[in-house]
Amino acid sequence: MSPAHVDLPTALVARYRAVDREFVGSALADTPRHLDALTVDIGRRGILTPLRLGFNEEFGTLDGNHRIAVAIRLGLETVPVAVIREPLTPRPGHAQTMLNEDLAVLLRVVKGSGIGTPT
Distance in angstroms (rounded) separating the CA atoms of residues 95 and 99: 12
What is this structure's pTM? 0.84
Number of other residues whose CB lies within 10 A of the CB of residue 110: 20
pLDDT at residue 118 tops 50: no
pLDDT at residue 78 tops 80: yes
pLDDT band at 117 (very low <50, low <70, confident <90, very high): very low
7 CB-contact burial (10 Å; exposed 0-12 / middle 13-18 / buried 19+): middle
Map out the domains of the chain as residue ranges: 4-113
pLDDT digits (tens, 9 = 90+) for 31-71: 788 889 999 999 999 999 999 999 999 999 999 988 999 99
CATH class of 4-113: alpha beta
